[in-house]
Amino acid sequence: MHVLARLFGYLRPYWKALALTCVLLILSTGLSLLPPLVQRQIVDEVIGGRDLSRLGQMIALLVGIYAFLSLVDFGEQYIRHALGERFLFDLRVRIYDHLQRLSLSFFERTSTGELMSRATNDVNALEHFVTHGVVLTAVDLLRLLGASAILLALDWRLALVALVPTPLIAAGLRWFNRYARPIYRRARDRLGDINAKLQDNLAGIRVIQSFGREDVELERFRSTSQRYYHERVRGIRAWSTFFPAMHFISAMGGIAVLGVGARMVVNGQLTLGTLIAFLSYILSFYEPLRRLTEIDNTFQQAIAAAERIFELLDETPEIQDAPDAIELDEVRGEVVFDDVHFRYGDGDEVLHDISFRMAPGEVVALVGPSGAGKTSIANLLCRFYDPDHGRILLDGHDLRKIKLRSLRRHIAVVLQDTFLFNTTVRENLLYGNPDATEEEMIAAAKAAYAHDFILQLPQGYDTEIGERGVKLSGGQRQRLALARAILANPRILILDEATSSVDAEAEYLIQKALDEVLKGRTALVIAHRLSTIRNADKIIALEGGRIREIGRHEDLLARGGLYSQLYQRQLALSTTE
């Protein structure tokens, strides 16, 4: 009930549309209760009394009632369904906005497919709840009460006969609630598994095909889909048993009324018109009762979907602005790591006693074997995570005391695994600075040695580059990413092995671009190829999450320590090649 109450709470902003829908539905309900009364008069007074003088008026009245009812139903259905779509739109946007604010650690432990399932399938599952469950429940209850009052007014004895099936329906409804809700929740979880598997496999389709694992992955997907299928069949078995049983019980009530009423008419205790009107109102009594049981099925599915949505919305970002966080309009670019320790989640500590300073405009390179902690330092500087101990300062301000948007506005990152959006070159370049002029965009592309190859594309800067820039080479993608960072005009630039996955020509062009771009900027360069950072102002050699050496290229080579060993090893490999 807590989930249902919270779900109703989300409908509060739409109370005007809901109220108007309720008014129209109540009007529709009232109008639908009138025809049997007119039909009763026709049977008893016109047919029974053989008086045709009022027949035309009564037929005209029936036509008017049904015409007005159609207009009311049009308005009600349009408003109700439009409201449902608006609710889904707002909820979907709200979920996306919330997702963007969550910390990276959340996305590392949650699959993309699962999140997509909650933002699409689970949200869509609420559509029937909004359009049919919320308003129709209240109106069906009113119809039930109205029909009950009229049945009692027509003949209380037959009304008692009509009420006999209701305890059985109530007991069946209680059983269905307890049995069906866990099934619907498991089905939604299994649907999330399908989305996660599908997203993972489509993203890795090249690997699947290159290793010839199509049949294996097909079996895995079939197994995942089969679990969803079994849960769906269990749900189908539940409602396909429940609803026909409820309809049968309702039908038995109608038959009982017909049997008792026919006997009363023959015995002169009831007029034929009253019996016909009573049988018409029996439909108005049992129909909302049956629909309430069906709406309960909608509620159970909505609760299962809402539980998953609320679990997502209840996730709180681990990285948030402090109450007293400040806005930094301008920064000089001085960065200090002061006795920083860090671990991912509950894992082992990956950084120990990290302390160093980056002066404004200084280029600092991080080197070391895989797993040394280079990328972790970059992540901390962007404040994707907070250190477990120690602090990181920007121009003397602890990063935790700076507003996140303000901090990240002054930092640009070029990753080894470049991410480009499935849109045009122009939109990708303008991503970090949407207000940049055409001249500024072209200047950034030229600075990254990307302008020439962009002009050779079919539509130049307006060329669609495909998902993750699949239509471009690795070097071209990297130069676009660099141009995007240049156009953002950051004070601090982070390069995470930006030249490690490109060919020699692309590396040469990127290196030429970097030599120009890094001038006057504070830069943290994570280097795989040590030949690319010989001109760095400071080189920090890491091993096992600890700083082993700090110095310039020549000084570190002369020491013969970790950096020298790494450099000589790479030099030997390149000579062998």
Does the predicted model carry a pTM greater than 0.75?
no
Looking at residue 391, its pLDDT comes to 92
Q: State the average pLDDT over residues 304-310.
A: 85
Between residues 371 and 356, the one the model is more confident about = 356
292/348: higher pLDDT: 348
Most confident of 12-26, 82-96, 352-366, 413-427: 352-366
Q: Look at residue 498 and tell me whether its pLDDT is greater than 80.
A: no
pLDDT confidence band for 88 (50 / 70 / 90) = confident
Structure confidence at residue 371 as a pLDDT band (50, 70, 90): confident
Q: pLDDT category, 519, cuts 50, 70, 90?
A: confident
pLDDT tens digits along 27-57: 887 787 778 777 777 777 777 777 777 778 8
Reported in sequence order, the residue ranges of 372-450 that DSSP labels E, i.e. its strands, are 389-394, 397-398, 411-414
In the predicted model, what is the mean pLDDT of residues 55-68?
Answer: 85
Q: What is the largest CA-CA distance in the chain?
A: 122
- Rounded to the nearest integer, the mean pLDDT of the chain is 81
State the pLDDT at residue 505: 64
Q: Which pLDDT band, with edges at 50, 70 and 90, does 503 fall under?
A: low
Query: Token digits for 478?
Result: 């990297």
Which of 385 and 195 is assigned the larger pLDDT? 385
Residue-level pLDDT at 1: 59
Q: What is the pLDDT of residue 336?
A: 93
Tell me what pLDDT residue 507 has.
Answer: 64
**Least confident span in 37-51, 300-314, 353-367:** 37-51
DSSP-derived 3-state class of residue 383: coil
Q: Which residues contact 429 (CB under 8 A, 6 or more apart)?
A: 441, 444, 445, 461, 480, 483, 484, 487
d(CA 470, CA 483): 18
pLDDT higher than 80, residue 282: no
Looking at per-residue pLDDT, the higher value among 355 and 167 belongs to 355
pLDDT tens sequence across 201-260: 776 776 676 667 778 888 888 888 888 888 888 888 887 887 788 778 877 877 888 888
**Does position 506 have pLDDT exceeding 70, yes or no?**
no
> What's residue 398's pLDDT?
92
Q: Report the C-alpha gap between 21 and 11 in whole angstroms.
A: 13
pLDDT, greater one: 18 or 332: 332
Residue 200 has pLDDT above 80, yes or no: no
**367 pLDDT above the threshold of 80:** yes
Burial label, 407 (beta-carbon count in 10 A; 0-12, 13-18, 19+): buried
Please state the rounded mean pLDDT for residues 379-388. Answer: 90
Q: What is the pLDDT of residues 100-136, one digit of tens each?
A: 888 888 887 888 778 888 888 888 878 777 777 666 6
- Return the domain boundaries, the chain: 2-313, 333-410+526-577
* pLDDT of the residue at 199: 75
User: Is 148 exposed, middle or buried (CB count within 10 Å of its CB: 0-12, 13-18, 19+)?
Assistant: middle
329 CB-contact burial (10 Å; exposed 0-12 / middle 13-18 / buried 19+): exposed
Question: Is-contact 306 371, C-beta < 8 A?
Answer: no
CATH number (1.10.1270.20, 1.20.1560.10, 3.10.105.10, 3.30.70.1150) of 2-313 reads 1.20.1560.10
CB-based contacts of 527: which residues, under 8 Å, 6+ apart? 365, 366, 367, 497, 533
For the chain, what percent of residues have pLDDT higher than 70? 92
Q: Which range is least confidently modeled, 107-116, 358-367, 438-447, 501-510? A: 501-510
Architecture per CATH, domain 333-410+526-577, reads as 3-Layer(aba) Sandwich (3.40)
Q: Is the pLDDT of residue 293 over 80?
A: no
pLDDT over 80 at 146, yes or no = no
- Helix, strand, coil shares, percent, the chain, to 5: 65, 10, 25
